């Protein structure tokens, strides 16, 4: 029996070298075959199994039925959804994915041309995220705004044509340079009027709707004056200057009240988008009105009838436009609606109801107001007795409320330490006192005879005044906080008020 000897060390080395060489060749061949299979298109006869995340998205394209696709994320743009996939077939070894390794797949079928056109228009006339990005009052406001600009653009054709004809008739012997000077003077007068009216400043915040509507009325007045130049062309320059002043004042009002209105529509930080789309709607309607007016003007219609019709449409649209705005702040008109409703029914009106009941024709320059907030002392009191009678009642308050029977007004004087909430409470107290006096007057009017002696009437009014003020003070102490609470529940902003008080303040006397 012969024993087998183990192989020598040299033969072991040869065997190991051969085995290593074969392994290397095997690995290289395997990589080559894998690369060929990855780059080659799939055979039609071969059934390729879909990966679950690809098969579940309803992808019909053959290029997306590859098992090398991997879902990355989902995206939504203007209501359309996209899914992004990573194509692992272009991954080479340990190298990162190339630029073309991400494929986007739309989950919607291609839109019809009409739908694409509608989407294009929507991107210009409505804010992104509409209707969720704006308040419900945005749609009626923009509807009436578009109609107003439509009528305004239509009237612009007739007024411009009239002005050109008037300057040509009145200056038929003048040189073109003289006509140009008249036109420049007309525009210069308008700019001066615009600068002077801009001093109103803060009133555009206090009485936004009232001034907006008044500005549109001035625009119509200016347009009417421009048409008058056709009747008296010899007075072209003064009439055109007056018309341009009125129209520029209206333009200042429109510009100054634009931002607060758009701010009321924006639900988030999208006021720029809301403003841009709103102006686009106005310009589009203006262009349509101008085009229609040009076609009508070619038929030489009656100037008076055409202007009357367009003017009525403009003013009516302007009124409805302003009425459709829903503001959250309390100015004089909305505060009056809220307090009177609370005193009668115990409820504060909603934002929509309070804004709809606001008096648009209560212009800031209106002199007679039943409640005067922040007046001069001499306006509120005619004699010292009436002041000394009510002063002790308001020792702990930052205001004094009084009634002047000779003027028939409630006067609310503010102290120099009065804050925003003090002004709000003082105005509330004024409405409560007015409510008490009116109720008392209605009850006593049938049994109380009118006295002709002013002195006895004054003394009686002073005695009645003190009793009414004490009664109103008790009511305010009990009702003011519930009023604020209910107003906040309805969405009214109570932290800031736009009640526009006068600048006079009562100060402590320095001994």
Residue 435 lies in a domain: yes
With cut-offs at 50, 70 and 90, classify the pLDDT of residue 189. Answer: low
Residue 465 lies in a domain: yes
Nearest to 326 by CA among 78, 495, 493: 493
Q: Are residues 256 and 339 in the same domain?
A: no
Identify any residues that bridge with 506 across adjacent strands, giving them in sequence order.
Answer: 415
pLDDT at 480 over 80: yes
DSSP summary character for residue 399: E
Report the alpha-carbon distance of residue 255 to residue 234 in Å, rounded.
33
Residue 269 lies in a domain: yes
Three-state secondary-structure class, residue 434: helix
- pLDDT tens-digit readout, 76-121: 655 566 666 666 665 544 455 454 566 667 766 666 777 777 776 7
The number of helix segments (H) and strand segments (E) in the chain equals 16, 8
Distance between the two ends of the chain, CA-based, in angstroms? 140
Three-state secondary-structure class, residue 432: helix
Q: The tokens of 508 are what?
A: 């402590």
Q: The tokens of 465 are what?
A: 């005044």
Contact between residue 390 and residue 465 where contact means Cβ atoms under 8 Å apart: yes
Q: What is the pLDDT of residue 155?
A: 74
End-of-domain residue from the set 304, 324, 344: 324
Q: The tokens of 167 are what?
A: 């300057």
Q: Are residues 407 and 429 in the same domain?
A: yes
With cut-offs at 50, 70 and 90, classify the pLDDT of residue 198. Answer: low
Residue 82 lies in a domain: no
Q: Are residues 431 and 315 in the same domain?
A: no
* Peptide linkage before 496 cis (omega within 30 of 0): no
Residue numbers of the domain that contains 301: 125-324
pLDDT mean over 249-261: 85
Highest average pLDDT, of 28-42, 233-247, 347-361, comes from 347-361
Residue 103 lies in a domain: no
Q: What is the pLDDT of residue 464?
A: 73
Domain count across the chain: 2
Residues 6+ apart with CB under 8 A from 172: none
Q: Are residues 268 and 357 in the same domain?
A: no
Q: Are residues 344 and 298 in the same domain?
A: no
Q: What is the pLDDT of residue 51?
A: 42
Residue 506 lies in a domain: no
Report the alpha-carbon distance of residue 144 to residue 261 in Å, rounded.
14
Residue 41 lies in a domain: no
Contact between residue 54 and residue 64 where contact means Cβ atoms under 8 Å apart: yes
Q: Are residues 336 and 397 in the same domain?
A: yes
Q: How confident is the prediction for the chain on average, in pLDDT?
A: 74
Q: Are residues 178 and 223 in the same domain?
A: yes
pLDDT at 349 over 90: yes
- H-only helix segments in 94-235: 113-125, 138-170, 176-197, 203-206, 208-228
Q: The tokens of 302 are what?
A: 């009656």
Q: Are residues 307 and 161 in the same domain?
A: yes
Q: Are residues 319 and 426 in the same domain?
A: no
DSSP summary character for residue 415: B
pLDDT at 432 over 70: yes
pLDDT at 456 over 50: no
Q: Are residues 306 and 358 in the same domain?
A: no
Q: What is the pLDDT of residue 445?
A: 53
Ranges 152-156, 355-359, 402-406: which has the least confidence:
152-156
Residue 7 lies in a domain: no
pLDDT at 425 over 90: yes
Q: Are residues 307 and 343 in the same domain?
A: no
pLDDT at 384 over 60: yes
Contact between residue 502 and residue 376 where contact means Cβ atoms under 8 Å apart: yes
What is the distance of C-alpha 510 from the center of its chain? 47
Q: Are residues 338 and 472 in the same domain?
A: yes
Nearest to 156 by CA among 299, 285, 323, 252: 285
pLDDT mean over 280-290: 87
- pLDDT tens-digit readout, 359-379: 888 766 566 678 999 888 888
């Amino acid at each position: 029996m012969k024993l087998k000897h183990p192989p020598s060390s040299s033969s072991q080395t040869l065997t190991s070298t051969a085995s290593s060489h074969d392994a290397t060749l095997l690995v290289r061949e395997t990589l080559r075959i894998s690369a060929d299979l990855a780059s080659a298109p799939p055979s039609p006869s071969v059934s390729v199994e879909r990966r679950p995340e690809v098969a579940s998205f309803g992808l019909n394209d053959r290029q997306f039925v590859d098992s090398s696709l991997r879902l990355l994320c989902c995206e939504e743009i203007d209501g359309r959804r996209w899914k992004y996939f990573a194509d692992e077939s272009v991954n080479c070894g340990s190298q990162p994915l190339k630029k073309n390794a991400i494929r986007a797949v739309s989950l919607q079928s291609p839109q019809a041309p009409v739908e694409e056109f509608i989407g294009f228009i929507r991107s210009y006339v409505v804010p992104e995220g509409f209707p969720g990005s704006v308040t419900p009052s945005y749609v009626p406001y923009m509807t009436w705004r578009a109609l107003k600009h439509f009528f305004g653009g239509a009237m612009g054709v007739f007024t411009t044509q009239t002005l050109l004809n008037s300057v040509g008739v009145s200056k038929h012997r003048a040189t073109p340079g003289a006509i140009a000077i008249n036109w420049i003077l007309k525009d210069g007068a308008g700019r001066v009027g615009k600068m002077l009216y801009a001093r109103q400043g803060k009133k555009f915040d206090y009485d936004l709707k009232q001034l907006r509507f008044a500005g549109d009325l001035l625009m119509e007045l200016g347009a009417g004056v421009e048409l008058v130049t056709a009747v008296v062309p010899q007075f072209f320059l003064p009439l055109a200057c007056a018309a341009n002043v009125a129209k520029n004042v209206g333009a200042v009002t429109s510009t100054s009240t634009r931002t607060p209105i758009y701010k009321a529509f924006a639900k988030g930080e999208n006021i720029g988008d809301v403003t841009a789309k709103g102006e686009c709607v106005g310009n589009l309607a203006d262009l349509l009105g101008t085009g229609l007016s040009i076609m009508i003007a070619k038929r030489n219609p009656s100037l008076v009838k055409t202007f009357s019709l367009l003017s009525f449409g403009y003013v009516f649209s302007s009124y409805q436009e302003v009425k459709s705005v829903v503001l959250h702040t309390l100015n004089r008109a909305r505060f009056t609606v809220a307090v009177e409703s609370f005193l009668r029914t115990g409820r504060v009106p909603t934002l929509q109801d309070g804004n709809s009941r606001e008096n648009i024709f209560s212009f800031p320059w209106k002199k007679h107001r039943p409640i005067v907030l922040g007046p001069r002392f001499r306006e509120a009191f005619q004699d010292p007795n009436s002041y000394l009678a009510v002063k002790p009642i308001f020792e702990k308050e930052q205001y004094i409320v009084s009634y002047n029977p000779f003027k028939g007004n409630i006067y609310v004087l503010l102290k120099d330490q009065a804050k925003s909430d003090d002004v709000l409470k003082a105005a509330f107290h004024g409405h409560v006192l007015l409510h008490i006096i009116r109720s008392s007057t209605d009850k006593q009017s049938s049994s109380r005879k009118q006295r002709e002696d002013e002195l006895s009437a004054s003394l009686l009014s002073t005695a009645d005044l003190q009793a009414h003020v004490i009664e109103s003070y008790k009511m305010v102490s009990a009702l003011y906080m519930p009023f604020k609470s209910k107003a906040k529940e309805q969405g009214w902003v109570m932290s800031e008020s736009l009640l526009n008080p006068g600048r006079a303040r009562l100060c402590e006397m320095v001994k």
